[in-house]
């Protein structure tokens, strides 16, 4: 099971990478809050309960009894986003005119990362790929660069300041450099 510290870290990471998200709450299918960005537990519970109700109502009008996985409610002042997977749900609020696809992507990524890490916690050990482990970076950490990635970046930077060859250098003028 997901512990509160992992949930809080996931929400902190979410609000760091997605500047559009103002608040978020992570909860399970029963409405139990697992983590929240709210200082007040009452507000977190209210958002989780409302988000669950919104999904239920929207699912009731969906064609062919389709199971909804995401929902956005937009007003002129802001939006509420709800994303769910098998066991977890996440609801978030934004200001007006958010980049909808990006917010949904960030919310889904948060849920995916939490669920991918859940077996790790119960089985112990840490996830590392061979290339990442050689560089000492955890797998999937975009902030950590491998030695090979640093070399490529340095090569790109060096490529921008290339030397001029003899063919590219301006030729001296035959008239002694005086333009008349």
Please check whether residue 139 lies inside any domain of the structure. no
CATH number at residue 85: 3.30.450.30
Sign of CA dihedral 12, 14, 17, 22: negative
Q: Tell me if the pTM is above 0.75.
A: no
Range of the domain at 73: 4-123
- CB of 83 closer than 8 Å to CB of 111: yes
Distances (CA, A) of 139 to 16, 86, 122, 153, 159: 19, 24, 18, 19, 29
Residue 168 in domain: no
Domains: count for the chain: 1
43 class by beta-carbon count within 10 Å (0-12 exposed, 13-18 middle, 19+ buried): middle
Task: Give residue-wise pLDDT tens across range 125-170.
Answer: 433 333 333 333 344 444 433 333 443 444 444 444 444 445 555 5
Per-residue pLDDT tens over the stretch 74-125: 999 999 999 999 899 999 999 999 999 999 999 999 999 998 876 665 554 4
């Amino acid at each position: 099971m997901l512990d509160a510290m992992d949930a809080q870290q996931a929400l902190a990471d979410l609000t760091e990478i997605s500047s559009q998200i103002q608040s978020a709450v992570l909860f399970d299918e029963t409405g139990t809050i697992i983590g929240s960005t709210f200082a007040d537990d009452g507000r977190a519970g209210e958002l989780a309960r409302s988000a669950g109700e919104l999904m239920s109502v929207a699912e009731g009008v969906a064609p062919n009894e389709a199971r909804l996985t995401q929902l956005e409610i937009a007003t002129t002042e802001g939006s509420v986003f709800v994303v769910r997977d098998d066991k977890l749900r996440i609801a978030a609020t934004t200001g007006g005119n958010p980049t909808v696809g990006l917010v949904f992507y960030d919310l889904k990524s948060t849920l995916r990362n939490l669920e991918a890490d859940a077996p790790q916690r119960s089985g112990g050990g840490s996830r590392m790929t061979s290339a990442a482990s050689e560089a000492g970076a955890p797998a999937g950490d975009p902030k950590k660069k491998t030695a090979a990635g640093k070399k490529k970046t340095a090569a790109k930077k060096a490529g921008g300041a290339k030397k001029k060859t003899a063919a590219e250098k301006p030729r001296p003028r035959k008239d002694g450099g005086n333009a008349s």
